[in-house]
Amino acid sequence: MWNPLQQLIAKIHKNGGFVNAHAHFDRAYSVTPEEFIQPSGVNSHLFEKWQLVDKFKSHASVEIYYQHIAAALESQSEQGVQACLSFIDCDPVAEDRALEAAVKAKNYAKNHLKINFLIACQTLKGVLDPIARNWFEKSLEYVDIIGGLPGTDKGNEDKHLDILFKAAKESNKRVHVHVDQLNSALENETELLATKTMQWGLEGKVTAIHGISIAAHPLNKRKSIYKMCQDAGLSFVACPTAWIDSKRSETLSPTHNAITPLDELLENNICVAIGSDNICDIYKPFADGHMLTELRVLLEANHYYNIDELVNVATNNGLKVLGLA
Ligand SMILES: [Zn+2]
């Protein structure tokens, strides 16, 4: 009997295994029982959680961070993941403790788990505040990829990107940026990212993480976004379970699932990879970083059944956005 899921799994294995192109291993398994009962906890809005994680970050030593990162890597290894990229907090709260632990974990991943583990900086306190900027610049020497989160510099998203892209030009590193996370037609961050990418001459070197809000726009606007993405050589990482929980809203928009629009992006020859995003932390307490679950949710929520393309999303496209292929 033919089983498409088994065929998909076999082909991914034949291609060397999953590539997890986006994660936050430094905070993996950091959720606490208290965070399920406190008014400010697992049910808070994303923007509040950006601050709530300070509690864990301010107390975590290099050793604690290492334990969390190593545990996440071990779980990835058990699934046969061949390469992964984790954003790592380097800001005034975490300082460089998480980064130091992640650099140490690279050797463990390579020698003991046979995983190519790459690091990107997470700019959770923005890059415009002088102290935060200082930590961002300090991280550049140690990261494989420059990471960004323009939403943390609200109102100055363009300036946030200018700082990331200037660093990318100087270091010749790729850039991964969280954009359009809120499933709202009020967000236009993917367009901004594509525009800025072209302004800085970084075509083909920038990857958008999420891009959930794209699907909240009408078709004509989506077509114009895809054209800009093509011109900028923008690639994407979908983190399916991360945003499928997007809260119900009374705002009218084209019907869609809260997920990176894989079907339309691939139709437009835009590269899409897959990531787990948060694992068992205040953001996603039940997420276990299981890549096959992520792929299942991605293919089901997009009604996308092309097996060979799904294999690319799970493997080759990940290597591309990580700069490994
Ligand atoms: Zn993320």
Q: What is the CATH number of the domain that holds 207?
A: 3.20.20.140
Question: Domain for residue 136, yes or no?
Answer: yes
**Tens-of-pLDDT digits for all 325 residues of the chain?**
999 999 999 999 999 999 999 999 999 999 999 888 887 788 898 888 888 888 899 989 999 999 999 999 999 999 999 999 999 999 999 999 999 999 999 999 999 999 999 999 999 999 999 999 999 999 999 999 999 999 999 999 999 999 999 999 999 999 999 999 999 999 999 999 999 999 999 999 999 999 999 999 999 999 999 999 999 999 999 999 999 999 999 999 999 999 999 999 999 999 999 999 999 999 999 999 999 999 999 999 999 999 999 999 999 999 999 999 9
C-alpha of residue 3 to centroid of ligand 1, in Å:
33
> Is 7 domain-assigned?
no
Is residue 50 one of the residues assigned to a domain?
A: yes
Alpha-carbon 275 to chain mean position: 6
Instruction: Report the candidate in 262, 294, 265 with the shortest Cα–Cα distance to residue 278.
Output: 294
Strands (E), 196-322: 206-210, 235-238, 272-274
d(CA 92, CA 187): 28
What does pTM read for this prediction? 0.97
- What residue numbers bound the domain in which 236 lies? 13-321
Q: Does residue 1 form part of some domain?
A: no
Q: Tell whether 5 is covered by a domain.
A: no
Measured in angstroms, how far is the CA atom of residue 254 from the centroid of ligand 1? Answer: 25
Residue 276 lies in a domain: yes
Query: In total, how many domains does the chain have?
Result: 1
User: Ligand 1 centre and the CA of 86: distance in Å?
Assistant: 9
Residue at 223 is within a domain: yes
What is the distance in A from the centroid of ligand 1 to the CA of 206? 15
Is residue 80 included in any domain, yes or no? Answer: yes
